[in-house]
Amino acid sequence: MSGERGTEPELSERELAVLAVARQGWTDSGARDRAIRERLGISPTRFFQLLNALLDDERALAHDPVTVNLLRRRREERRERR
């Protein structure tokens, strides 16, 4: 992807790893939380903070539009229910 986005930096390895974990579509939150801790070495709270920031990042959308758009829709649905 280098050069496609001009001078905009590419996603970091950590950002790519956060997207990869989010892409899994976990049905068991316990397994998801264990995977977050084991694969990323961060708390689930920090994971969701990073993920939320990535959902607003156009670089993440360019890298994985299916996952980002799905998660954006879910986030918006949760906001509308509040």
The DSSP letter of residue 52 is: H
Read off the pTM. Answer: 0.84
**Residue 61: what residue type?**
L
- Per-residue model confidence as pLDDT tens digits over 14-38: 999 999 999 998 899 999 999 999 9
Whether the pLDDT of residue 4 is over 70: the answer is no
Contact 26, 32 (CB under 8 A): yes
Q: How far apart are CA 59 and CA 77, in angstroms?
A: 23
Angle, CA of 24, 16 and 60, to the nearest 5° = 95
Q: Give the count of beta carbons closer than 10 Å to the beta carbon of residue 72.
A: 14
Contact 75, 64 (CB under 8 A): no
